[in-house]
Amino acid sequence: MKTTWQSDTGKIERIIVKTAVAAFQNEQTIGQQWAALNYPSAPDFTIAKRESEAFIALLQSLGIEVLTMPANEPLTLDSIYVRDTAIVCDNGVILCNMGKPARGDEPAAMRRALEQWNIPVCGAICGAGRIEGGDVAWVDERTLAVARGYRTNDEGIRQLRALLGDCIDELIVVPLPHFRGPSDVFHLMSIFSPVDKDLALVFSKLMPIPFREALLGRGIELIEVAEEEYDTLGCNALAVAPRVLVMSEGNPKTKARLEAAGVTVHEYRGNEISVKGEGGPTCLTRPLRRSLSR
């Protein structure tokens, strides 16, 4: 069985998460931070802990080795969304440089954790470059898509291209629309979640036409997120294996569309850890190695 880090749809072997206990710390911390971080309301710490434990147990039940980030870092609630701190390629991990200023210290914490786990870091976005991991997704093993939005800038994309070197044949740059403006969380993975090598979940209304055409041109079939489920993170689904997804509960129409296409959907309850912080299952996880069946 071939393994690669350059896939968002192969079977996940190892994944990084941060528990709600480690990221949210306690009720007082939540109370001090949620409004300044732009959360629509304050997560409930007790329920968040339960949701986080169940989410991690679900990943483990799917045969995934889960690595958990340490708690003792002076970071914010947003540090639960580990995806945004790092990008992976077959040379190792590329650390991001966050577009949201309040999250600026998260990549350094990820670097320390990776060093402890002996996971190679092959580069970091630095200086004026900005990139968040939620803006990046593998379209296939040699093609990476990166959004240009409020969290990821041209200099970040330039550095990413240089760091990837011959790991890729193509970097598809996806310019994002303004939508709800700079204070909103709007990443590539807000409108695009790979499901299999020839299937993706998308929200076409907010997709640039060239990117949509590029996916269709590669033979990738697109399933539409139900419009009323956009705000409940219907578009943010984590492929744990080809056509096997983990999704936040509360997106029944989108779930039914996926199941009709032969996709298996595992739901988790994510009102506190996902909906309130606006980060779905892809944001809550940094998958590392995946295996490909061919």
Ligand X SMILES: NC(=O)NCCC[C@H](N)C(=O)O
Residues forming contacts to ligand X in the complex (CB under 6 A) are 37, 78, 81, 83-84, 100, 103, 134, 185, 187, 189, 277-279, 283
* 205 close to 215: Cβ distance less than 8 angstroms: no
Pick the closer one to ligand X by CB: 165 or 182. 182
Alpha-helix runs per DSSP H in the chain: 20-24, 27-33, 45-61, 106-116, 154-164, 209-217, 252-260
Pick the closer one to ligand X by CB: 187 or 290. 187
**C-beta of 24: minimal distance to ligand X in Å?**
12
**C-beta of 262: minimal distance to ligand X in Å?**
26
**C-beta of 181: minimal distance to ligand X in Å?**
13
Q: How far apart are CA 278 and CA 232, in angstroms?
A: 8
Pick the closer one to ligand X by CB: 51 or 84. 84
Pick the closer one to ligand X by CB: 39 or 211. 39
* DSSP characters over 142-197: TEEEEEESSSS-HHHHHHHHHHHGGG-SEEEEEEPP-TT-TTS---GGGTEEEEET
**C-beta of 150: minimal distance to ligand X in Å?**
10
Pick the closer one to ligand X by CB: 59 or 283. 283
* DSSP characters over 89-109: ETTEEEE-B-SSGGGTTHHHH
φ, ψ at 91 (rounded to 5°): -85, -10
Q: Which residue is nearest to ligand X (CB)?
A: 134
Pick the closer one to ligand X by CB: 96 or 162. 96
**C-beta of 166: minimal distance to ligand X in Å?**
27
φ, ψ at 192 (rounded to 5°): -150, 120
**C-beta of 81: minimal distance to ligand X in Å?**
4
